[in-house]
Amino acid sequence: MSTKDYLEKDYYKTLGVAKGASADEIKKSYRKLARKYHPDANEGDPKAEGRFKEISEAYSVLSDEKRRKEYDEARTLFGGGGVRMPGSGSAGGTYNFDLGDLFGGAGSSGGRLGDLLGGVFGRGGGATGTGQARPRRGADVETETSLSFSDAIDGTTVSLRLTGEGPCKVCRGTGAKAGTVPRVCPTCEGTGQGSRNLGSFAFSEPCKTCRGRGLVVDDPCPECSGSGRAMSTRTIQARIPAGVADGQRIKLAGKGAPGERGGPPGDLYVRVHVEPHPYGTFSRSGSNLTITAPVTFTEAALGAEIKVPSHGGMPVSLRIPAGTPNGRTFRVRGKGVRRKDGTFGDMLVTVNVQVPNELNGKARDALESFRDATAGADPRAELLKNANG
Ligand SMILES: [Zn+2]
Ligand SMILES: [Zn+2]
C-alpha cells in the first residue's frame, strides 16, 4: 500500500480499536471482524467484500510492529489523517505527490496479506464473491434493429437480444476453479492500484499483476480461464422514438452492460434500419414524407381538387392549379414525420400526369375537337429551331 493510504486510512478505526491498543487486542478484533465479513459468509455481497479487504489491509499494517510504527509516524507528521492528497478519491490518471522517500519505501511487503488469508481461513472454502475493489461502470453496447416504415415514423418498442460480457456463471466471477479461492494480489496487496514514478510524481494505474482486480487466481476456472468474465445473452425492451431515420444511431442511456459492484450501467447504441413502405406509397426525405400522386391530363390542364392519402390519418385535399405540369411537387404542411422537438415535417406530393390508354367514342371525339382547337401550337417548335445551334 502507498503512503497515500497511510494518510487517508484510519486503520485503528477500521479495526475498531484504540490507537494505543495492544497487539493482542488488535488480533482479537481483527479475527472477529474478518469472520463477520469474510466472502464465504457473505457470498455476492460487494459491501462485505470491500469491508473484508479494508480489515485485512488494516491488520496487515497494525499487526506488524515495524509497519505500525511507520504508519503512526506518517499520520503524526501529516496531521493524523486529516490530509487529503491531491487527486485522491478520483479515478486513475491524476497524479499524487510521492512521499515514499520520506518513509523508506513502506509500500513494499510482498505476499503478506495473501499469507495471512491462507493462514487464517485455510484453502478450499468454496467459491467466493470477489472482484475489483472499486465500482465499475458497465460497458457501452452497440446493436442493430430493423423497423417497419410505419414504426420508424410513429415510434415503437423493440426487443433486443444483447450479447455481452458479464460475470462467469461457473465461478460466479471469481475466476477461480471450483473449490479454490482467489488470493489477495501480493503486488498491490488487494488495492488493485499500482503506481509508476515519473520524476517526483507518482501516477496511479491499475496493478499490473492482477490487472486492477486486487486478487490473483492460482487455479483458474476452466470456463473463463481465470478471467471471471464470460459472454452471456440478455433480452431488453428498448423504446425507439418517433421519427427515426434509416441509418440513425440512437443512444439509450443506461441500457448497456450492467455495472459492477454498484457502478452505473453503460449506454446502449442502436443502429436503426428502416424498411421501405410495403406498397411504396410513401418514402422519407428527412422529416418529410414524399408521395407520387397520379392526376389526369384534364385535372392538370383545368385544375382540380384532389385527395391524397396521409400517413396514419384521413386523406387530405390538395388543390392543383390549372396548367400544372407533370412532375410538379406540392407541399402539404405538417403531414410529415414527427421531429425531435415535437413539430412535424411536411408531405411532398409530386403529380404524375396520366395518359389514358383506352378511349371510348365520346372521349375520343372530345379529344379530337381539342386537337383541332389547338392545332396551331407545336410543342417541339423550339426544339427544332435550336437543334443545329
Ligand atoms: Zn495487484
Ligand atoms: Zn469462470
pLDDT per position as a tens digit, 199-234: 766 777 888 888 887 888 889 999 888 888 888 788
Identify the DSSP state of 136: B
Which has the closest alpha carbon to 26: 65, 71, 62, 72?
Answer: 62
pLDDT at position 283 is: 96
3-state helix, strand and coil shares in percent for the chain, rounded to the nearest 5 = 25, 25, 45
Q: Ligand 1 centre and the CA of 177: distance in Å? A: 19
pTM for this prediction: 0.52
Cα distance between residue 130 and residue 213, in whole Å: 9
Cα distance between residue 1 and residue 54, in whole Å: 11
Q: Ligand 1 centre and the CA of 324: distance in Å? A: 79
Q: Ligand 2 centre and the CA of 115: distance in Å? A: 24
Longest dimension (CA), the chain: 123
Cell numbers 470491500 correspond to what residue? Answer: 50
Give the count of beta carbons closer than 10 Å to the beta carbon of residue 378: 9
- CA distance readout (Å), 121 to 177, 179, 275: 17, 13, 61
CA within 13 Å, CB half, 384: 4
pLDDT at position 118 is: 33
Q: Which ligand sits nearest to residue 184's alpha carbon?
A: 1
pLDDT at position 1 is: 53
Q: Ligand 1 centre and the CA of 307: distance in Å? A: 74
Q: Ligand 1 centre and the CA of 205: distance in Å? A: 10
Query: Helices (H), strands (E): how many in the chain?
Result: 10, 16
Cα distance between residue 215 and residue 200, in whole Å: 29
pLDDT at position 133 is: 52
Q: Ligand 2 centre and the CA of 288: distance in Å? A: 52
For the chain, residues with pLDDT lower than 50 are 80-132
Helix (H) or strand (E) holding 369: helix 361-373
Cα distance between residue 235 and residue 58, in whole Å: 43
pLDDT at position 77 is: 63
Burial class (CB in 10 A: 0-12, 13-18, 19+), 244: buried
